[in-house]
Amino acid sequence: MKKRFFIFLCSLLIFAFSCSDDGKNNLLYQYHSPEEIESFLDEVALKYPNITSLDTVGYSQEGRAIRALIISDRDYPSSTLPDPEPRVRFVGAIHGNERISAEILIRLIEYLTYNYEKDPTITELINSRYIVVIPVLNPDGLAADRRYNSRGVDLNRNFSIEWIYSSTSGSSPFSEIETSSFRDYSLGKIFHLSITFHGGAVLVNTPFDYGRAREGVAPAENDLVWFYAKAYSTSGNFLNNPDLSQYSYMEDGVINGGDWYIAKGTLQDWSYKESGCLDLTVEIARRNPSTESEVEQIFLYNRDSIINYIKMAGYGVYGYVKKDTLPLEGVKITVYYEGGFEGDIYTFTDSRGYFNRILKSGNYTFKFTKDSMEKIVNLSASGHGDYIEIDMGN
């Protein structure tokens, strides 16, 4: 018996295989347990200390660690603060029975770390982005091969936006230790772009989940949301997946969450409305594949889309806000589009005064506010990363 376990192309691969009647080897896939994934993350951090480090997001109801692997060249290796770079988050296994969502992130970690200083595109991304991968948000569910956590709660119904009580949504928003830990961790990092991977369909699902876009329930910046969603779906081979879902109101593999089906208290709606981070729900497979080659193919359908998405975290406007010579933390950045309408992705500066705001090319008005201070600046964005420094003392 063999079973795939450690680093792709570099470390031990343990596979389970059987022989078909015609004599050909069919590699059967054995999904990783939470403990095996934790060991894998430890192994990666040891093998690539210059570009990886480990965080503990929190712990599950049963005491399992929820781990995050940071992939970045770390401009400030001695600091516990995230680097002042576009910050991208990837999350898997929020539903424990959607095991493929964790496996694709194992492969992403392998692909990024192995190709650093080999592939110029990957090297540049790791040098210029702060990438955080949380392969398993629901380790108890993964261990038991069930959707819910160990208290029977669907973690993707336990966030605060339009939360409603049900037998599986928890006693209140963030009642579960997994979701409250994730909330606190994410708010501390100030992410700018994110994907949560799921299984059960093949599509890209956009905010909002709690209402139908066709009935007017959509982000104010829905055009920007769909720009990023379509960039994912049309990059690489995502649309070549023969299992691609087909629904009304779906375009290029993208659909508004509520137009697919309404769900309340979801991660992506919370991320957008309360943390200023665009999170897409990407459904990558209708079922958990049974063979090694099928799992690998799911990754290949998504690999180039993920790489492009990481790149696009740097599209828009970034820079620093200070008062005289001191960095200003907690400055709110509000963007107004041509025509005067206000964007609804609100981001804040970190303790270094750094901010990053995803945007398409165009003309915008930026408003920087903190306490009684306010500064308004008109900007023309190229859409490929424009730098600005703001002094609130002048």
Residue that the structure tokens 């006693």 belong to: 171
Q: What's the pLDDT score for residue 383?
A: 86
User: Residues spanned by CATH 2.60.40.10 within the chain?
Assistant: 316-391
Length of the chain measured in residues: 394
Q: What is the mean pLDDT of residues 158-172?
A: 98
20 pLDDT exceeds 50? no
156 pLDDT exceeds 80? yes
- Per residue in 58-72, pLDDT (tens digit) is 999 999 999 999 999
- CA distance to 95, 316, 345, 365, 375, per residue, from 334 (Å): 34, 13, 8, 8, 11
Q: What's the pLDDT score for residue 79?
A: 67
18 pLDDT exceeds 70? no
Q: What is the mean pLDDT of residues 238-263?
A: 97
What topology does CATH give the domain 31-312?
Answer: Aminopeptidase (3.40.630)
Q: What's the pLDDT score for residue 88?
A: 98
Q: Using CA atoms, how far apart are residues 238 and 27, in angstroms rounded to an integer?
A: 23
pTM tops 0.85, yes or no:
yes
Q: What's the pLDDT score for residue 4?
A: 44
Helices (H), the chain: 34-47, 100-115, 120-128, 139-144, 177-189, 222-233, 257-260, 267-275, 292-312
Q: What's the pLDDT score for residue 299?
A: 98
Q: What is the mean pLDDT of residues 21-43?
A: 81
76 pLDDT exceeds 90? no
Q: What's the pLDDT score for residue 12?
A: 35
177 in Cβ contact with 151 (< 8 Å): no
56 pLDDT exceeds 80? yes
127 in Cβ contact with 73 (< 8 Å): yes
Q: Using CA atoms, how far apart are residues 68 and 82, in angstroms rounded to an integer?
A: 13
Nearest CA to 150 among 93, 91, 96?
96
> What secondary structure letter does DSSP report for 236?
T
User: Residues spanned by CATH 3.40.630.10 within the chain?
Assistant: 31-312
7 pLDDT exceeds 60? no
- Per residue in 334-365, pLDDT (tens digit) is 999 998 899 999 999 999 999 999 999 999 99
Q: Does domain 316-391 have CATH number 2.60.40.10?
A: yes
Per mean pLDDT, which range of 61-75, 168-182, 250-264 is the poorest? Answer: 61-75
16 pLDDT exceeds 60? no
Q: What is the mean pLDDT of residues 180-203?
A: 98
Q: Using CA atoms, how far apart are residues 311 and 354, in angstroms rounded to an integer?
A: 18
Q: What's the pLDDT score for residue 74?
A: 73
DSSP string for 238-254 = GGG-TT----TT-BTTE
Q: What is the mean pLDDT of the chain?
A: 92
In percent, the amount of the chain with pLDDT more than 90 equals: 89
- Per residue in 94-140, pLDDT (tens digit) is 999 999 999 999 999 999 999 999 999 999 999 999 999 999 999 99
Q: What's the pLDDT score for residue 345?
A: 98
